[in-house]
Structure 1
């Protein structure tokens, strides 16, 4: 791997009210400890079970062969079903991107292996592809299990007459109204608060 290889970090949060930038410090420190620097950040609020994510697709389009896709955990990249994961993995492999995940130690060597060391690179790719598939399957199972438990909990609450739906984050909504009142755009407000533009719009609509 040469010094020209880009480290492209991908940050994702599942819900619109979570901060996708939460892991930025950990990824920056991880790269710095290996004498590298994150060259580009791709941040979005989207479900890992959704096949099309605009920032992830932009990362793949921007990447050159040998670039590193840096993530905090495999489930930040995928909670996809098997078919969608195979499609995404194929796109990543076609682009020549190597995935490095903080929770997959065997992938860390991809940060420092020389691009001229073809044998080591291919061995790493083979091992990590297998482990990545396993972790992707675990991430999907965790997603399905949580959805099932959530649905069961909602059903039980409905049967008891206690289900009131998902409460809004009043503190976040208050900050949104304050920033918008200062004249900040929807996009700028979302960037500052680490939420999605749709969350900003929903908070404004709720206040009307």
Structure 2
């Protein structure tokens, strides 16, 4: 049985490794070592998380997927949560979360089949509940954000995201030098719509 730690933050400005020491201490208290750590800066509301799926691909049946909180694993909608659960179930991976006390017992191999099945059922139910709460929190925050933006627009106070003038100038220089759009997008992470807008500004 290998313990694999998954650490996620929503944006590149956040520190995905913040909880690493807590996970290391948790495993050490139980006489276990973390075999590998997978860090990711992606939204928990998206299934497009390469490191999470690399972790699952590395797992053998019975391995532990260790997380700080259930919302680090999922803020997914119901359909995507079911897809992720199915992937985890196929690989026979056990989810252990620091904020889910009953899951801690999954880290011991000294269980009879009845106890193991009961723990799996209880943890499955609680994981579903916590994942649903995490998604509701995500949706609530998004709704409040949109309400705030709408109010600011009504009051004439909304200015949107400030323009990154230095980056946009660099992109225009790349366009002027004849670099392809795909090269510029790969190098800067900008969207095709941004490229089109900047090219139009140059033409004007």
The answer to whether the superposition gives a TM-score over 0.5 is yes
Task: State the 1:123 CA deviation.
Answer: 1.4
Question: Residue in 2 aligned with 1:77?
Answer: 73
* Counterpart selection for 1:111 from 107, 111, 120: 107
Question: Residue in 2 aligned with 1:101?
Answer: 97
| CA distance in 2: counterparts of 1:162 and 1:64, whole angstroms | 54
2:17 aligned counterpart, secondary structure = helix
Label 1:201 to 1:25 Cα distance change in 2 as closer, same or farther (>3 A).
farther
1:82-122: CA deviation from partner (whole Å, max 9, x where unpaired): 111001001001100000000100000111233x6332222
Question: Residue in 2 aligned with 1:145?
Answer: 140
Aligned length: 169
Task: State the 1:163 CA deviation.
Answer: 1.9
* Counterpart selection for 2:8 from 6, 12, 25: 12
Question: Residue in 2 aligned with 1:32?
Answer: 28
Task: State the 1:165 CA deviation.
Answer: 2.8
Q: Does 1:86 align with 2:82?
A: yes
Task: State the 1:48 CA deviation.
Answer: 0.5
| CA distance in 2: counterparts of 1:166 and 1:97, whole angstroms | 41
* Counterpart selection for 1:62 from 55, 58, 71: 58
Tell me, yes or no, if the aligned pair for 1:113 and 1:121 is still in contact at 8 Å: no
Q: Greater RCO between the two (CA within 8 Å, min separation 6)?
A: 1
TM-score using structure 1 length: 0.76
Tell me, yes or no, if the aligned pair for 1:113 and 1:120 is still in contact at 8 Å: no
| CA distance in 2: counterparts of 1:166 and 1:42, whole angstroms | 31
Which residues of structure 1 form unaligned runs of 5+?
169-197, 203-208
* Counterpart selection for 1:126 from 121, 129, 136: 121
Task: State the 1:37 CA deviation.
Answer: 0.9
| CA distance in 1: counterparts of 2:28 and 2:162, whole angstroms | 40
Question: Residue in 1 aligned with 2:169?
Answer: none
